[in-house]
Structure 1
Amino acid sequence: MAYDHEEQEQMASIKAWWSQYGNLLTWALTIVLAGYAAWSGWNYYQRTQSTQASMLYNELQNAVTAKDNARIQRAATDLQDRYVRTAYAQMSALVAAKAAVDANDVPLAKAQLQWIIDKGADTEYKAIARIRLAGVLLDEKAYDAGLALLAGDFPAAFAADVADRKGDLLVAQDKLPEARTAYQLALDKAEQKNPGRQLIQLKLDAIGGAAAKAAA
């Protein structure tokens, strides 16, 4: 009987505890389970989006191989409309911009690059788009617009490319001292194994960079 009495006291204590905290515990458990379900569902959604986007990107690559600009642009638009949060959407815009340039459709190329700048989620792709769009503006002789596009912050890895493109724009404006400074900065920022260093050096030498350095 003593054992039964002790057991009854324990049961009474458990009931009292549950009466006080059971509802709170139930809600907490429900929130945890709901959070886990949402997290699992989001991961599944992300994997599905990435898989579907990769398949569509493969179609775009096939269109590139076929040199079919219309198919390239359609695939890129589909990726941007349906899978905007994936890297494939930004990659497709870069590919589509190049295809548009090759097809002499400069407005479309600019639109593709501007899409990355405005809606891209990755800072690296946005940097590439700004540099390439500045190159398109250089060809259009919109030099100030190109320089404005290169103003502001860029990831450190793009410092050489940004300075090089600035140099091109400044040369086009016949601002040679500023261009020399930009090209020299590009050389300073470029890694020694960067294959573009030789071209930057040639451009610097062509505007008297070597002589300016010797005088200094």
Structure 2
Amino acid sequence: MSDIYHEIQEDLRRDRLKAIWARYGTAIVLAAALVIVGVAAWRGYEYYEARKAAEAGDRYEAASRLAEEGKAEEARAAFAAISATGPEGYAALARFREANELSKTDKPGALKLYQAIADSASDPMLRDAARTRAAYLGVDAAGLDEVKRLAEPLVGSNEWGTLAREAIGLAAYKANDAAEARKQFEAIVADADAPGATRQRADLMLSVLPPAAAAEAPAKPIN
């Protein structure tokens, strides 16, 4: 009796499966196919991205070698090509290096490029590094007001605050604003967390600046 019962159960099961397959078989096949295609597409995308990253890495190393060999213009062009077509990470780094190479021959042009990086960078570290580099270039390629615009937002930053103050101090010194220069360099010397080399440079600048009282007197900018 139990054998007959099991046979009936099996028949009912098969009938239900046939009914389900007849009704949903095509959809099941399509869903399975979509999953397979999706997995294959993702693997293909991962491979493509890895290949792009590897190629960009090779191009970046080649451009870096050109820079090390002193071929600034060729290096700049190579970095510019990577920044235009490379993956996001390499493109951002290459754009920064492009500006660095350009600064050797065209400081105003490099300053604009660093400013563009600072305005568009999604990574805060890269953005602030670009602002700091632009501020230092601004000491020679722009005026005190422009250096302040670039550097003052970084003054409270642990990573960049000291360098931002140094850039403002140097720009003020060049503009013969001794009071502003002394203010910035004294703040660096008083900062226990400031790097030793930066504090030494600030000490040196304070030694060549006029005394505080004399620094209050207006002076003509250095030409």
TM-score, with structure 2 as normaliser: 0.71
Gaps in structure 1 of 5+ consecutive residues: 212-216
Q: Which residue of 2 aligns with 1:146?
A: 147
Residue pairs, 1:4-23, within 5 angstroms: 4-14=7-17
Report percent identity of matched pairs: 22
Higher gyration radius (CA) = 2
In the TM superposition, what is the alpha-carbon distance from 1:76 to its structure 2 partner? 1.3
In the TM superposition, what is the alpha-carbon distance from 1:161 to its structure 2 partner? 2.0
Residue pairs, 1:205-216, within 5 angstroms: 206-207=208-209
**Aligned CA distance change for structure 1 residues 108 and 194 (closer, same or farther; 3 Å):** same
**Aligned CA distance change for structure 1 residues 152 and 39 (closer, same or farther; 3 Å):** farther
In the TM superposition, what is the alpha-carbon distance from 1:174 to its structure 2 partner? 4.8
**Does residue 170 of structure 2 align to residue 168 of structure 1?**
yes
TM-score, with structure 1 as normaliser: 0.72
Contact 2:168 2:181 in 1 (8 A): yes
Query: Which of 70, 76, 82 is the equivalent residue of 1:67?
Result: 70
Q: Which residue of 2 aligns with 1:97?
A: 99
Provide the rounded CA distance (Å) in 2 between the counterparts of 1:160 and 1:78: 33
CA RMSD, Structure 1 to Structure 2 (Å): 3.6
Q: Which residue of 1 aligns with 2:59?
A: 56
Provide the rounded CA distance (Å) in 2 between the counterparts of 1:168 and 1:28: 67
**Aligned CA distance change for structure 1 residues 28 and 136 (closer, same or farther; 3 Å):** same
Q: Which residue of 1 aligns with 2:216?
A: none
Contact 2:63 2:79 in 1 (8 A): yes
Provide the rounded CA distance (Å) in 1 between the counterparts of 2:80 and 2:166: 31
**Does residue 161 of structure 2 align to residue 159 of structure 1?**
yes
Provide the rounded CA distance (Å) in 2 between the counterparts of 1:4 and 1:114: 80
Contact 1:85 1:121 in 2 (8 A): no
In the TM superposition, what is the alpha-carbon distance from 1:144 to its structure 2 partner? 1.3
- Count of residues in Structure 1 that have an aligned counterpart in Structure 2: 209
